[in-house]
Amino acid sequence: MNTLYPIFLKTENFNILIVGGGIVGTEKLSFILKNSPDANITLVAKEISQEIRSIVDYRPSIVLIEKAFESSDLENKQLVIAATADKALNERIYHAAKAKAKNILINVADTPELCDFYLGSIVTKGDLKIAISTNGKSPTLSKRIREFFEDILPDNINELILNLNEYRKTLKGNFEEKVDALNEITKSFKNKKE
Q: CA dihedral defined by 58, 61, 62, 68, rounded to 10 degrees?
A: 140
Q: What is the pLDDT of residue 103?
A: 80
pLDDT at 137 over 90: no
Q: What is the pLDDT of residues 13-53, one digit of tens each?
A: 999 999 999 999 999 999 999 999 999 999 999 999 999 99
Do residues 34 and 115 both lie within one domain?
A: yes
Residue 192 lies in a domain: no
Do residues 112 and 167 both lie within one domain?
A: no
Q: What is the pLDDT of residue 2?
A: 85
* Domain CATH for 64: 3.40.50.720
C-alpha–C-alpha distance, residues 108 and 113, integer Å:
9
Boundary of a domain, candidates 69, 100, 119:
119
Structurally, how many domains does the chain consist of? Answer: 2
pLDDT at 192 over 70: no
Residue 171 lies in a domain: yes
- For the entire predicted model, the pTM comes to 0.86
Residue 45 lies in a domain: yes
Do residues 167 and 81 both lie within one domain?
A: no
What is the domain range of residue 36?
A: 11-119
**Cα 40 to chain centroid, rounded:** 13
**Mapping DSSP to helix (H, G, I), strand (E, B) and coil, where does residue 124 land?**
strand
Boundary of a domain, candidates 119, 144, 174:
119
Instruction: Enumerate residues 6+ apart whose C-beta is below 8 A from 16.
Output: 32, 39, 40, 41, 42, 77, 78, 79, 80, 81
Do residues 99 and 22 both lie within one domain?
A: yes
**pLDDT, averaged across the chain:** 91
Residue 112 lies in a domain: yes
